[in-house]
Structure 1
Amino acid sequence: NSMGKFNGHFYPGLYLYSYGLYQTIVISKAIIFNDSLLYPSCPSRNKGRWAMLWKISYGGVLKMATGSILTAYVVICLDDGMVLMSKQVPPRFMYPKEWQHLTMFILLTLLGCVDVISKNLLPQRCVVLEKSTLVLTFYVLLLLLVSHIQASVGVELQVHSLLILVVFLLMLVLTAELWAPNMFHLRLIETFLFLMMGSWLMQAGFILYKPVTGYPWQDDDMSDIIFVTTFFCWHIMINASCQLGIYGFSSFWYRCFCPGVKLTVSKEAPYHASPLRPLYKLLQEVEPSEKDDQALLLPTSSP
């Protein structure tokens, strides 16, 4: 039914957009205080009987809960349940797009499980495991989306093609983060793409299933297809402005209303370094032997 398909686009998009907004706030704070992205500083909360609650991976728990709820929703929306194959001869696969949605939501649940295992169950957090699982999830998501549009035409094809573009760029950025997980530039781009993916999914629900005018978009009208791309460009400008606005407001808030805030580096961090250290400082650290050789050439009477 159209209502089920609308919710299947709108609520996942709302979740992704909320996640992007939250990550924008986190990254803005990290940039303002020159903090680590992987091991953010936080006030000391390791005392008292509720100390363990502060260490729970709430992001992982939220992913598990959201994935499980959306998985159950897909199953409930079908009157006869998630039937894989029909009983006719020869048997045929049933509900191909619903099974793809189910696979996507199961991946989100597994992603949350990995976050909880890495941050709460392993002796030491494994960032590589978290990032690798996230990258693998988007590789699978891209494959599912490419096959998802095989029978699409017109407006639906254009909507999903633009979504595939966002997922492809996000996959590239997440892959690059495997080698640079603490780089602010990549995290900003990643967050922007999550905002784009979320807002465009919500827009897709309205375009395909609940148009604002009350009349369906026309596949044979070229102006409708062109305006799909125009709306997408508006999303780019709005989300970029949203990121800039959150950073500007955060900077204003912390510097004007919290001037005495002093963050302490998290003890879990194996190191804490500025992401943009000058090259000459790095050279000074990795080549101390050259200074020693020069000192040996000086006369002993030299000051």
Structure 2
Amino acid sequence: MGKFNGHFYPGLYLFSYGLYQTIVISKAIIFNNSLLYPSCPPRNKGRWATLWKISYGGLLKMVTGSILTAYVVICLDDGMVLMSKQVPPRFMYPKEWQHLTMFILLILIGCADITSKNLLPQRCVVLEKSTLVLTFYVLLLLLVSHIQASVGVELQVHSLLILVVFLLVLVLTAELWVPDMFHLWLIETFLFLMMGSWLMHTGFILYRPVTGYTWQDDDMSDIVFVTTFFCWHMMINASCQLVIYGFSSFWYHCFCPGLKLTGSKETQYHASPPGPLYKLLQELEQSEKDDQALLLPTSSL
């Protein structure tokens, strides 16, 4: 699992998730909408109405984590053996067990999303964010221990990945107090794009070089160019976010001009869950309507 596929496919998933989140955030910024409680068009109330309420993001995380977990187990001929049978016993497959832990954490994030959005009577954003933060804290610890035996190019590649995960941990921790801030969501999405694209590129650097020749650990120019490629990833991913936002803004303003007004009105109702003050105002409004209905027959007489 620590080969090309173990880096490319998780990176592809993270990069695709970052692209999707960029589209969501661009739409929220254009319509001045809420990120946690986005307005959505009304769905038909039929036998398929409950399908619209399913947390497809959480379901996708569970399915992806399960597939990657099964792939880790299948890749080993004798299965996921924890300790050898020799005396004294030794731990087996340390990096594979770390990958397995990472993918189980992805399943945990999906379970938290589905529990918050579909099983609880009211959505619990704190549960979702706390699970995500805990997952990346554990991921950061695993990556730090993952590079203990690495040298040269492999060490430089994984050190830059650790830098991205560390910054992502800081952003996710800040979102526990301000979960609906556009600036933090933009930085978070950028870091997910960086993590995904760099993981995919790491697979090519370490296991399938484009030139057909392996990178040399004792060549300083190879190590320097690893950092150069990382900087190129930063510029490309930032440009990708700008292009997606620009295209989304052009599309909605030119082809869907009526959606902006609708979205801004619906945001007032979906930006935050109804609280006790909102319910009290509704009751007062209903009582005034009842009084007017009682006075109407009298005035007609």
More helix by share: 2
Matched, 1:72 2:70: yes
Aligned match for 1:16, one of 14, 17, 23: 14
Whichever residue aligns with residue 62 of structure 2, its letter is: M
SS in structure 1 of the partner of residue 267 of structure 2: coil
Matched, 1:244 2:233: no
CA distance, structure 2, for counterparts of residue 53 and residue 6 of structure 1: 36
Partner of 1:299: none
CA distance, structure 1, for counterparts of residue 173 and residue 186 of structure 2: 14
CA distance, structure 2, for counterparts of residue 196 and residue 41 of structure 1: 29
Whichever residue aligns with residue 195 of structure 2, its letter is: M
CA distance, structure 1, for counterparts of residue 272 and residue 108 of structure 2: 27
**Match runs of 1:1-303 below 5 Å:** 5-45=3-43, 47-261=45-259, 262-263=262-263, 264-265=266-267, 269-270=271-272
Question: 1:270: how far off?
Answer: 2.8
Whichever residue aligns with residue 131 of structure 2, its letter is: T
Query: Where does the alignment leave 5 or more consecutive residues of structure 2 unmatched?
Result: 275-301
Contact 1:24/1:243 (<8 A) preserved: yes
Q: Report the TM-score, using the length of structure 2 for normalisation.
A: 0.88
CA distance, structure 1, for counterparts of residue 56 and residue 29 of structure 2: 22
User: Across the two proteins, how many residue pairs are aligned to each other?
Assistant: 270
CA distance, structure 2, for counterparts of residue 30 and residue 265 of structure 1: 10
Whichever residue aligns with residue 92 of structure 1, its letter is: R
Q: Cα deviations across residues 24-61 of structure 1 (Å, max 9, x unaligned)?
A: 00000000000000001110015222110000000000
Partner of 1:288: none
CA distance, structure 1, for counterparts of residue 83 and residue 206 of structure 2: 27
Question: 1:244: how far off?
Answer: 0.3
SS in structure 2 of the partner of residue 86 of structure 1: coil
Whichever residue aligns with residue 238 of structure 1, its letter is: I
Whichever residue aligns with residue 58 of structure 2, its letter is: G
SS in structure 2 of the partner of residue 212 of structure 1: coil
Question: 1:5: how far off?
Answer: 1.3
Whichever residue aligns with residue 71 of structure 2, its letter is: Y
Question: 1:260: how far off?
Answer: 1.3
| Identity, % of aligned positions | 87
Question: 1:265: how far off?
Answer: 3.1
Question: 1:143: how far off?
Answer: 0.1
CA distance, structure 2, for counterparts of residue 247 and residue 149 of structure 1: 36
SS in structure 2 of the partner of residue 265 of structure 1: helix
CA distance, structure 1, for counterparts of residue 94 and residue 268 of structure 2: 47
CA distance, structure 2, for counterparts of residue 105 and residue 5 of structure 1: 16
Q: Report the TM-score, using the length of structure 1 for normalisation.
A: 0.87
